[in-house]
Amino acid sequence: MKYRKLGNSGILVSEIGLGTNNFGRRLDYSESEQVINHALQSGINLLDTADMYSNGLSEEYIGKAISKKRDQVVLATKGGMNPMPSPSDTKVAQRVNEGPNKSGLSSVHIKRSVEESLSRLNTDYIDLYQTHIFDPYTNQEETLRALDDLVSEGKIRYIGCSNYMAWELIEGVQISKKYGWSEFMTIQPEFSMFEREPESELIYACEKYNIGILPYFPLASGFLTGKYKRDSIPEGGRLSSGNHSAWSEKWLTEENFTIIENLEKWASSKGITMVQLAFSWLLAKSPVSSVIAGATSKEQIDSNITGSGIEITDTELEELNSILPPRNEVGIGNVPRRIQNTS
C-alpha cells in the first residue's frame, strides 16, 4: 500500500480508503469488524463514515472495532445531510437527526452532530470532519465558524466537505482565509471513469488550493468491476437492486456496455484488472489523496488494495480518454443528492 498526504495536511493516508456505508445495513457488527480488521492489516488507514449511515450504526460499529487501535486509524466522518433510514425503517420519526433543526449545516446542528458522532465513535477526536452536502439555507460563515470552534476545542483536527460544486468550495476557502479559520482540507465528490464532472472545474480548483480529493463510488456503483454484462446482471449487486433503479437506468445502457467492453480489452492488454484500472485512473489525478472504496468482505478488500501503486502514463490517459464517455456538464453538482436533501 502506498500513502499520500491528506490534502495540504501533515498526515498520510492510504491510497485506498475504506467506505463504510454498508455497516449496519448489509453487514452486522461481527461482519463489519472483520472487514475493518482486514483493511487495517492490509495497510488501509483511512476509514470514512457518516452520521446518517444506517442511523448511526456505522459509526457505532467503527467505534467499537477500533477502540484498542485508535492510533492506527485516520477517522473521517460526515454530518449535515438528511438521514438515511435503515432497510426496515419507514418512519421519519425513527431517523437519526429527526426534527426541524437537526439537519443542515447550522452552528447548532454541526456542534450537536459532532458531539453525537464522538459518542458513537467512542473517541475524543475526529481526524477529518466533512460537511456532507452544501446547505443553501445556512451562510457558509456560520458553518465555517462552528467548524473552526470545534478544531480549536480539539474535537476535530481537519475539516472537509462533500458534494460541493467548485464555486461553493472556493467560496468556503476564501471565507476561511478572510477570518483566519480552518480551511477545507479535502472534498469528497462522486468521481469515476463514468462520472467525470470533477474534471470540468473541481479538479483545477483543488490543484490551485492544495485540496485533497477523496472520490466516492469509484467503481460507478460496481459497473466498473466488469461483472455486469449485457445479457447477465448479477443478483445482489447495487445496480441489480430495485432500490437503485435510477442508477441502473443511468449505467446499464448499450452505449455504456460497449465502453466497458473496450475498457476490459485495454486493461487486459496491460495485464491489470478492471478494479485496478478504475482506481489507478483516479490516482493519476494529482489532487486525489485517497480513493474511498466500500467493501463487504475480505475478498473485496484484497481486490481494492491492488489498485494502489499502479501508474498510468499521460499517453495511456489519452488512450483511455478516447474510450471513456465525455466529461459531464460543468457545475451541475450532485443533483440527485441535492434533491434528496431538500425533499
Geometric angle at alpha carbon 278, from 304 and 257, rounded to 5°: 120
Burial class of residue 332 in the structure, from the number of CB atoms within 10 Å of its CB (0-12 exposed, 13-18 middle, 19+ buried): exposed
Look up residue 287 and give its three cell numbers: 489532487
Tell me the HSE value of 189 on the side-chain side, using a 13 A CA sphere.
30
From 29, 53, 129, 158, active-site residue: 53
DSSP per position, 162-178: ES--HHHHHHHHHHHHH
Give yes or no: 53 in active site: yes
C-alpha separations of 284 from 86, 184, 241, 301, 308 in Å: 36, 22, 31, 21, 11
| Beta carbons within 10 angstroms of residue 331's beta carbon | 12
**Cα–Cα distances in Å, from 332 out to 83, 168, 267?**
23, 12, 31
Alpha-helical (H) ranges within 227-310 are 245-251, 254-270, 274-283, 298-305
Q: How far is CA 274 from CA 51, 215, 313, in A?
A: 31, 17, 17
Q: How far apart are CA 69 and CA 67, in angstroms?
A: 6
| Side-chain-facing half-sphere of 289: CA atoms under 13 Å | 26
List, by residue number, the catalytic residues: 53
